[in-house]
Amino acid sequence: MVDVLLNTEDVVVLGPPELVDVLVDIGPQGIRGSRIIVGSGEPNSLTTNGVIFGQTLILNDVYINTSPGAGYAYMSQYVSSPGGNTWVEILRISPAIYSSIQSASFTDGFASLTIPITSIVTGISSPLEAFNFNIQYQISTTNPISSSFQVQPISETGTNLIIIFNAIEYVSDSWSALEGEKDIHLFISLMQ
C-alpha cells in the first residue's frame, strides 16, 4: 500500500513580468574617481587630516610634486597603510632636461654661456646649487679638441646657470687655444 503525501488540483507557474523598466538617470551619486593634484612640496607634509590644498582626499588620488629637490617630478598616490592613509611615490614622470645648441665666442680658449635656470626647471621653491645639474656638452669643430668646463656658483634662486668652457684645438701638429665662434651642443639635467 502507498500513502499519498501531496494531492492538489491547482498548479501555479510563475515567470518574469512582461515589461521591465531600467532607469539610469536617477539614484544616489557614486564616489568620485581619482583626482590629480599638482603642487610644490612633499605631499605628506602638506596633507592635514585627509585634506590637501583645500581638497578632501580619497584613496587612490594622485599628487605630482613640482618642487625641485627630493621627490621632484614624482607622482605619488594616496593609499591606505597600517598607520593611516599616506602618500607613496609611484612614478617619476618627467626629469628636468634642457637640450640646445648654443653659439659661444672663444677668446684665448675661454667662452661662457648663460642659461636661465627656468629654461631647465620651473617652480623652483628651494635653492639650487651648481652640483644639482648634470651637464654634458660637445663643441663642434673640424679639428680634435680637448676641453673642460666649470659652473659658477648660483647667486640667487631661479637665476642663471653660468658655464665657463676652456678648450684647446689640435691644428698643424700642435695644440693651441680655441678661437672664434663655435657651436656647443648642450644637454643639462637636474640631479636630486
> What is the model's pLDDT at position 52?
93
- Please return the burial class of 22, using the count of CB atoms within 10 Å of its CB with bins 0-12, 13-18 and 19+: exposed
- Please return the burial class of 67, using the count of CB atoms within 10 Å of its CB with bins 0-12, 13-18 and 19+: middle
Which pTM does this prediction carry?
0.56
> What is the model's pLDDT at position 122?
66
Whole-number Å distance between alpha carbons of 39 and 43:
8
Looking at residue 179, its amino acid is E
CA dihedral of 81, 38, 98, 118, whole degrees rounded to 10: -130
β-bridge mates for residue 88, sequence order: 77
Whole-number Å distance between alpha carbons of 89 and 64:
9
Task: Identify which of 43, 37, 38 has the alpha carbon closest to the alpha carbon of residue 70.
Answer: 43
Whole-number Å distance between alpha carbons of 10 and 7:
9
> What is the model's pLDDT at position 67?
83
> What is the model's pLDDT at position 74?
85
User: pLDDT of the chain along its 192 residues, tens only?
Assistant: 677 676 777 777 778 888 888 877 777 888 888 899 999 989 999 999 999 999 999 999 999 998 877 677 789 999 999 989 999 988 878 767 888 999 999 999 999 999 988 788 766 656 788 888 999 999 999 999 999 999 998 877 658 899 999 999 999 999 999 999 999 999 998 876
